[in-house]
């Protein structure tokens, strides 16, 4: 693969300038302008290619611009893109049935993003339990809107917007006893990511989620799994809960659901549901988004991407664990949701990767998050590992 990817053309600089002038500067962007993609590869405006190990932050599981997904969106766009939810649409009903079958839950509610799914789950827990408090865990990330933000651990996200929806109630991750100690008669739900994404790819222990399930049952408290980042094959199962054999009362979904098209949802077990008028979303479950999600699910099934994630994820894990890179402490994760823990900040490794044709992401400052499309090849993995070896 070609070296020295740091060159910026005048066309790219024009985009940088427009962004700086007209867009609120909330993101720390890498200095490249991405213009197209195919599979696990994306291209910038100058035609340079990059192996994408970010995948829109675990979104493009089926790869960039998969022909079947593109066709499904085109076909639906020619028929009907949006109508109000005061009418039925075929795609929404079909997707709801598909998600119920995949999740093992009873009913779904459609929204547009992960943070909306978390907000919906919080509302659903409150209205069904008539309780108001929640418990989240340290290093959690559940979103940026005011309700979801109150469940997100890192103070740098929370501090500018206090007071939030609820008082701080965070307990250590992988500590079931801490949840038991924190529950009160007014606890509506406990919310947990089976694998913490933004928190540093922290994986639940084999018994943790089962213990939390038991504690919630004993206290008549709902259990919410945030599967926004871990769903749709990312960890080598349809959903990460399936690794642990634990069923939540409510689960959130988004990111990879639409294959890159914005889409979110919650699913809930039997007996937990919104009544008419208790929640709504103008664009939730619109025909175009549902068509994209149905196509994405079909691709995952037909191309056996669940098993691929499991097998090639193990290969990637082993290759990363064999690196002799200075400061590497641990490689952890499941499937193609991997974290490489360093004893120092890893922003320089992200920069080195970009200069050498690899897109990487650093989370929790010291963890390199590896979440490529599930269609990444072994040859591409070898190139990624080679570049990291140089870092």
CA distances from 203 to 73, 206, 207, 217, 241 (A): 35, 9, 11, 23, 12
**Active-site annotation, residues:** 141, 226, 255
CA distances from 281 to 117, 150, 266, 286 (A): 11, 21, 12, 10
CB 226, CB 142: distance < 8 Å: yes
Q: Which residues contact 339 (CB under 8 A, 6 or more apart)?
A: 200, 201, 202, 331, 332, 333, 363, 367, 368, 369, 370
């Amino acid at each position: 693969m070609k070296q020295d990817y740091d060159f910026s053309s005048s066309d790219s600089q024009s985009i940088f300038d427009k962004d700086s002038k007209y867009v609120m500067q909330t993101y720390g962007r890498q200095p490249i302008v991405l213009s197209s993609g195919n599979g696990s590869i994306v291209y910038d405006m100058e035609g340079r290619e990059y192996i994408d190990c970010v995948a829109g932050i675990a979104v493009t599981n089926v790869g960039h611009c998969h022909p079947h997904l593109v066709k499904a969106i085109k076909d639906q766009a020619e028929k009907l893109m949006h109508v109000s939810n005061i009418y039925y649409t075929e795609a929404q009903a079909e997707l709801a049935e598909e998600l119920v079958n995949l999740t093992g839950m009873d009913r779904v509610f459609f929204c547009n993003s992960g943070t909306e799914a978390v907000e919906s789950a919080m509302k659903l827990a409150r209205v069904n339990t008539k309780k108001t408090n929640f418990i989240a865990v340290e290093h959690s990330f559940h979103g940026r809107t005011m309700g979801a933000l109150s469940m997100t651990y890192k103070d740098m996200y929370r501090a500018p917007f206090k007071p939030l929806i609820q008082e701080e109630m965070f307990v250590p991750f992988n500590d079931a006893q801490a949840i038991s100690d924190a529950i009160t008669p007014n606890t509506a739900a406990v919310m947990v990511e089976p694998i913490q994404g933004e928190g540093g790819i922290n994986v639940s222990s084999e018994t943790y989620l089962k213990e939390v399930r038991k504690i919630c049952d004993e206290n008549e408290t709902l259990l919410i799994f945030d599967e926004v980042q871990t769903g749709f094959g990312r960890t080598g199962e349809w959903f990460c809960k399936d690794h642990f054999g634990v069923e939540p009362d409510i689960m959130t979904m988004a990111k990879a659901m639409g294959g890159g098209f914005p889409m979110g949802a919650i699913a809930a077990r039997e007996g937990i549901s919104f009544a008419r008028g208790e929640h709504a979303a103008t664009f939730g479950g619109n025909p175009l988004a549902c068509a994209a999600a149905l196509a994405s699910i079909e691709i995952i099934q037909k191309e056996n991407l669940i098993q691929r994630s499991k097998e090639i994820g193990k290969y990637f894990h082993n290759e990363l664990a064999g690196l002799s890179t200075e400061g590497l402490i641990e490689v952890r994760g499941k499937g193609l949701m991997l974290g490489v823990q360093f004893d120092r900040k890893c922003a320089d490794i992200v920069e080195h990767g970009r200069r050498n044709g690899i897109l990487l992401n650093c989370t929790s400052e010291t963890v390199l998050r590896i979440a490529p499309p599930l269609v990444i090849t072994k040859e591409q993995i070898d190139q990624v590992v080679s570049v990291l070896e140089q870092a």
